[in-house]
A and B are shown apart, each in its own frame.
Chain A
């Protein structure tokens, strides 16, 4: 998948109200800026062009293809989510019950989905992981056994704020470096936002 395909499959298919919300989010959070156009006058096509240019700059800046940027996005999500999903309880002498937490079932499904690289797989993976992360936010970062699959439970602002606060496990430094707009971590947040609005668009 390349950036143009990604943008064509997402931005250009948004309903007007979702596009307006997304446009506002991107500009308010400094991911995209328009020097001369007023926000309301920016069309989907203009925004799509701008976003494609952004991804192209990120690719060049980091010497990475768009697929590699997707890999980085997936790895980032897995870092903050994977270790917080309760594990399968296999039967033992003390406890003969075999129990797979619902969150674990969905996490395993997401891990299976991410092996296939296509637009739908990326959407499905992102949806499941966002729902898992929303549950993690509810438990204040603790281990989760459940998942609220409904897309209505997702809130981009809280997901972004929580991810910004994530730290590396042993170094206590921010996990995501968002100081530069063209680095891979910021690009991951851009991808997250686009996919979030794609999911909302299809509600």
Chain B
């Protein structure tokens, strides 16, 4: 900068954020270049990357939000493996995951679990699955099997039925235990077929992997609802015998199949040999995926324990409502104690959307 008697005082700038006040309405800094005789030669528009202060605030906000979500144990009964994943891999690893740019579907893995429990969230899952349906179809065509050619149609049917089930439940309408059982059976069958395709294919398609984990999340939800329906129905009818539906073992077996050595080895190979991850990234990748399924199984088992502990349909229902209220209040308190105002419209809107997605109303 040069001094000029006709100019206002020279502004000394030592840091980028000091330029923020000079940005125009579009957030662009306009610099005038003068030519001979001080005539304006050119106006250069400079876009400044997120100012360090803003980056720091965003990072701070992100850290606070993540800590708050973890501390609130918001991944309660209605949120399945995300909690297991977070606990298993921790904050440092989550940031590492975010830096693995190849894993563009990984967000679906982490979020798909809790999203499958609500209509709002599930729509997001289905949207992503639909975009991948063409790719899935290509994979199926590559597997020369008459049975596999029907998988896409059955997958669409299962997605529609799962959405319908969530809608019916959210509107407090009755959904018969037989329909619930059939949904769990259908999801189990599709999932087993997808797993077989995955294991038999010489080339791993990430879309298929995403479908498997999404369906596993859906199945976990269906199994939990089935357990509730069957247990309390059997109790009311004083039928005695098995507390859970006879197909329960078959439903749980599919999760064990995803945790089998054969399946895990394929995941390791995919990470190491095809995605080109380094060894640390590959470890994080396959362990996180395994943790997700382990978390699903644990949530089903925890749900069964809760059902038996309450041993009464209305009490169990009331407990869930109280849990959701408690979760919401706890999250709000933690956010506020972290200095994040939940009155802020943007934050409130984001929180409400998140709560809707995880059935905390």
Contacts and interface: CB of A to CB of B under 8 A. Distances in A.
Interface of A: 102, 105-106, 109, 120, 123-124, 127-128, 149, 151, 199, 202-203
Contact of B272 (A109, A151, A199, A203): A109
A145 to B, nearest CB: 13
B272 A106 contact: yes
Contacts of B268: 149
B273 interface: yes
A30 B215 CA distance: 54
Contacts of B279: 123-124, 127-128, 199
Q: What 9 pairs between A and B have smallest CB-CB spacing?
A: A127-B279, A124-B279, A149-B268, A124-B278, A120-B278, A202-B280, A105-B273, A109-B273, A123-B279
26 contacts: A102-B265, A102-B269, A105-B269, A105-B273, A106-B272, A106-B273, A109-B272, A109-B273, A120-B278, A120-B280, A123-B278, A123-B279, A123-B280, A124-B278, A124-B279, A127-B279, A128-B279, A149-B265, A149-B268, A149-B272, A149-B282, A151-B283, A199-B279, A202-B280, A202-B283, A203-B283
Chain A facing B: main interface SS: helix
Interface residues of B, number: 10
Contacts of A105: 269, 273
Chain B facing A: main interface SS: helix
Interface of B: 265, 268-269, 272-273, 278-280, 282-283
Contacts of B272: 106, 109, 149
Nearest to A121: B278
A138 B111 CA distance: 40
A114 B110 CA distance: 33
B289 to A, nearest CB: 14
Contacts of A149: 265, 268, 272, 282
